[in-house]
A = this chain, B = another copy of it.
Amino acid sequence: MTIAKLFEEIKRKKSFLCVGLDVDLDRIPESFKNNQDPIFDFCKSIIDATAHYCVAYKPNIAFFEAYGVKGWQALEKTINYLNENYPEQFTIADAKRADIGNTAKRYAKAYFEHFNFDSITVAPYMGRDSVEPFMEYEEKYTILLALTSNRGASDFQLNSNGDKLLYEQVIDTSKQWNNFEQLMYVVGATKATALSQIRKSIPNNFLLVPGVGAQGGSLAEVAQHGMNDQCGLLVNSSRGILYASSDEKHAESAAKAAKKLQQEMSILLRKNGLV
């Protein structure tokens, strides 16, 4: 998918919502638990209920991997279901991968060729040659961790070299990499004030923003500091949508939670003159 197409979808749906698929078998409705593939069936029910309100889905790979081969079968079915039934949705493998070049190539092959995701989250610690193999794919996007939403973000990401913080160095350095325009960045919603500075440094790249909802970030602040003329934001919500209720009306509740976020986003897009 191209950025232009993603922006079209954002305008069409008046939404920059990404639904995170973090399927916890302990939290899904009882009615799914005896199914042959409860992970996929739950994902499918959430996707069908929310697709109208969002522009992206983000399977959290750990939650599939935790179940071994069965989890991978569910992941394969989920991404295939998305690509076949909702090809307009931007798909994100939330995998936080990265390794030396010949290994990174394999991860890129897994997510971009085998599964055919549109994008993957990648960790920057190992530097340029651990990320560029992902960036070689046309119309695929590499979403680099910059400033994350968790408490541990302050352990290293906020380290200063006297001039810049580590996450700022990550962003600055990555601007020199091949196909930089195919980078997006993870910036936690809990750090909304840092967004202005980040937006100045990378005016055009999309930001994937976790941390609205369960982690306490504010959607309005994120839009205020991070929106650009193509929206430039994908705001993720996982638990707030997936587990809006855990009874037989879970899909309806998920749709309602997604719709509520979409409506807030619609107002913010209008405020910025984008719809």
- Where the two chains meet, the residues of A that have a C-beta atom closer than 8 Å to any C-beta of B are 22, 60, 62-63, 65-69, 71-73, 76, 94, 96-104, 106-107, 109-110, 114-115, 123-131, 145, 148-157, 159-162, 166, 169-170, 173
From B94, B102, B110, B161, give the contact of A65 (CB < 8 A): B110
Partner of A162, one of B72, B101, B114, B162: B162
Give the distance in Å from the alpha carbon of A218 to the alpha carbon of B14 in the complex: 58
Give Cα A175–Cα B162 distance, bound, in whole angstroms: 24
A107 contacts B150, CB within 8 Å? no
Supplied contacts A68-B110, A124-B125, A156-B166, 12 more A-B pairs, CB within 8 Å: A65-B110, A66-B114, A68-B115, A96-B126, A100-B152, A101-B150, A123-B125, A125-B156, A127-B157, A131-B152, A156-B173, A159-B166
Q: Which residues of the other chain, B, contact A97 by a CB distance below 8 angstroms?
A: 62, 96
Task: Please name 14 pairs of A and B residues whose Cβ atoms are closer than 8 Å in the assembled complex, sorted by A.
Answer: A62-B99, A124-B155, A125-B125, A126-B145, A126-B157, A127-B153, A127-B157, A128-B152, A128-B155, A130-B150, A131-B152, A156-B169, A156-B173, A161-B161
Asked if residues B166 and A153 are in contact (CB atoms below 8 Å), the reply is no
* Cβ contact within 8 Å between A62 and B106: yes
In Å, the complex CA distance between A67 and B102 comes to 15
Copies of this chain per assembly: 2
Query: Are B99 and A127 within 8 A (Cβ)?
Result: no
For A79, give the chain B residue with the smallest CB separation: B68
- Chain B residues with Cβ below 8 Å from A162 are 161-162
- Determine if A66 and B109 form an interchain contact, defined as CB atoms under 8 angstroms apart: yes
